[in-house]
Every structure is written in C-alpha cells, then in structure tokens.
Amino acid sequence: MIPLDPLPNLIDQVYARILEAITDRSLPPGHRIRQSELAEKLGVSRQPVSHALHLLHWQGLVAESGRRGFEVTRLDPERIRQLYEVRGAIDALAAKLAAGRAKTDASGRAQLEAALQAGRSIGKDTPLSRLIALDVDFHSAVYRLAGNPAIEEMIAPQWPHMRRSMATVLAELDYRERAWAEHEAIAAQILAGNARAAETAALAHAQTAGRMTEERLRATDKAA
C-alpha cells in the first residue's frame, strides 16, 4: 500500500485503503493488523488508522484480537449465501424497474452502457481490485436506472461484504468472462425494455454467483 496525502478526509481515505486491501486479500482473512505498522505503511499517524479500524470492526470486517489489536475476519459461507439470497431479490427488482425506465431515462441508460463498455476491457491481467470495482459499477448503474433510491440505500451496507465475496470467484479466470456475459445478458433485456426477462436474468446471475461463492468458501474451509 502506498502512502496517502494528508487531506481533511484522512479517516475516509484510510478506511477505503484498508477495505481495498481486505477485499483484494492483500490483508487476507485471519491476518493480524498492527496499527503502528499499518500507519507507517500509509504514512499517517495511528489516530486515523484506529478510527478506520473501529469502523471496519462495526461492519464486521475485522474483529478484536488481543490487547487493542484486530484481525481480518473470515468469510462465513452460510452468511454469504444469506446475503446473496437477499441480493437476488433486490437485483431482480432493480432490473425490472430499470427496464421500465430504460427508454425514458437517458442519463441512467448512458451510465449502464458506460459500465458495460468498461467491463468489456477486462482480461486475464486485469487486477482483482479493478475487476471488483467494475462489477460493482455495473450493478450500481442498474440500481440507479431503477429510479428507486431505497434499493441503493438497502444494499449499500452490504457492499463491503459482497466485494469480499466477489474476490472469491472473480479470482478465477473462467468466471470473469462468464460473469460479464451474464451482465451483458441482463443489460440487453433492460435496454430493450423487457422487464420480465431482465428480472429473470438478474435473479439467475445472483443465484449463480451466490452458489459458486458458497461452494468455494466451503471448499477452502475444508482444505484448511
């Protein structure tokens, strides 16, 4: 991790950098975080690091470990399955609503098309953090086109956990192409205004991702 510039929103920057490291496994599950060491790597004092770690602890991304220490939590396969069950319902609703607005919301349509275009640039050398960001951008574009702010508000607290789970399957080269093929299929139905087909495609995509993620996590736990 590279040092940060000392800006007013330093805690937010530290939080984002640690979260990124947890997501792309630079800080893997079970890793013990030493605040002084982390502060030195980021080029900041311990105070913003401490604040950021307490935010991450509140979200369940790190857990207390020893005296004033933290460690990166492990992904719970059952919890991830539960999150994907809920996300499947939300994504299906968002896709259906987005299809109903695709012909009238020019800005939302353009954002979705831009997210698709960005996703077409991925390859075998694309960093995992970039893959995750592009995936989030695609789904966020669908949520915005849906025109219901409650969708993004409900999913926002779960994005850190979902981003971690994405890393489990996006690390596999074969699934990267499959995921974007499914994104293309969802978007095609949305942009064509086919609400029912968009809803079905979005639900299937979430169910597939959830099933694969749970299977990978359980296999990893078993191997350990």
Name beta bridge partners: 32: 71
pLDDT tens sequence for the chain (224 residues): 666 655 558 899 999 999 999 988 889 889 999 899 999 999 999 999 999 999 999 999 999 987 768 999 999 999 999 999 999 999 999 999 999 999 999 999 999 999 999 999 888 888 888 999 999 999 999 999 999 999 999 999 999 999 998 888 887 767 888 899 999 999 999 999 999 999 999 999 999 999 999 998 898 777 76
In degrees, rounded to 5, the angle at the alpha carbon of residue 128 between the alpha carbons of residues 125 and 132 is 125
pLDDT of amino acid 173: 64
How many residues make up the chain in this entry? Answer: 224
Other C-beta atoms lying within 10 Å of the C-beta of residue 135? 22
Take residue 148 and report the two structure tokens written for it.
Answer: 């219901």
AA letter at 187: A
**What are the CB-based long-range contacts (under 8 Å, 24+) for 102-106?**
102/145, 102/190, 102/191, 102/192, 102/193, 103/193, 105/145, 105/147
What is the Cα–Cα distance from 179 to 199, expressed in whole angstroms?
A: 16
pTM over 0.85? The answer is yes
